Structure 1
Amino acid sequence: MQDQGYKEHEGFGLAESFRFSAGLFLLAVFAMTTPFQVILHHSHGSRYFKGGPVLISLIATVLWTGMWPDADPRPMFAIYYLFLGMTAVRGLQCLRRRSRPLPGVHSSYNGTPYLLTRWFDERTAKHKVEPILLLLAGGAVLQLTEPLGCFLMAGGACLTAETAMAIDAQRARDEAVADARIEAGMARDRRWG
């Protein structure tokens, strides 16, 4: 009987292993992007702060600091407290807006970039400008404080990955809507002749 239970858990196949690894990768990406989305964006959706991403990001920031035991932790804790404070401010703004939601804002929207100007549209600001600025800032402070420099550069890389995944997901949703319209038209034509 005990051997049978062991065999059930032994069958952790390649597909399950891949899904688990992909899930861990996504968790790491979201844990690294959330602090920067909170700090660099405003007007988040009402559900953006629900669930685990903010909590996981707070824990990840502390764990990141611990990877450099000999380094000065104060710059990383400055980012931690800035993130914590901005999370509280943004969360209160979302609660206040819940009574009068912004028109056209998805409830899990990750915010409007402060860099949104007449020179940069939202996609360019999120996918190119913010990551480049984080990479440059990380490279600039890397010699002064390695944990913060690496954190900023990892955040820039993860912002690029997260935005690319969001663009691909939106493209897939748009294609699904277009396909549904075509199929509805075909069904209507078959029904009415």
Structure 2
Amino acid sequence: MLKLKYHSDLIECGTDEAGRGCLAGPVTAAAVILKDDFKNEILNDSKKLSEKNRDLLRILIEKDAISYAVSHVMMEEIDKINILNASILGMHRSIKQLKTIPEHIAVDGNKFKPYLKIPHQCIIKGDGKYLNIAAASILAKTARDEFMAKIHEEYPMYNWKQNKGYPTKQHREAIEKYGITKYHRKSFRLLPEQLNLDI
């Protein structure tokens, strides 16, 4: 089982995002404060779990967490401020929505900007080390997948229900054939031939 949190004697939230490498849809971030007696054998980095387990864990986390919040940062904002800044903005927005103010923030990855004056720690692959970051990764991933399934109904030809907006061969082919939608990130290199150009 993963460790509960990085700082054992402080009220700590874990934060993570999903959808950073996608061509379409928002980047989604979550922040979670777990109870000190929270335990779960299955909870891990959302990428290592089946969809079924992620959905089950989402219900459990939402029921048991002291506080949690999820934020989408939409395509227009991503295009304006870039994906790294959008990811951090999403984490900040989620932390801001928590009903309990954390004394420490455990961040998945190696980049973050200070939030208020709350100390933070960046942890590479933190979602595979700490339960609170793993819980945030589950909430971010499931909320984003839900969003992508919803917009799939509007534009089924891109098959977002399955590829979630990631740059699969099929997704790039659909962009080539049908062009882009309001859900595509215009600042991203969307087609193979763009990858060789310095745009």
Same fold (TM over 0.5): no
The structure with more radius of gyration = 1
- The structure with higher relative contact order (CA 8 Å, sep 6+) is 2
- TM-score with structure 2 setting the length: 0.25
Select the structure that is richer in helix.
Answer: 1
Select the structure that is richer in strand.
Answer: 2
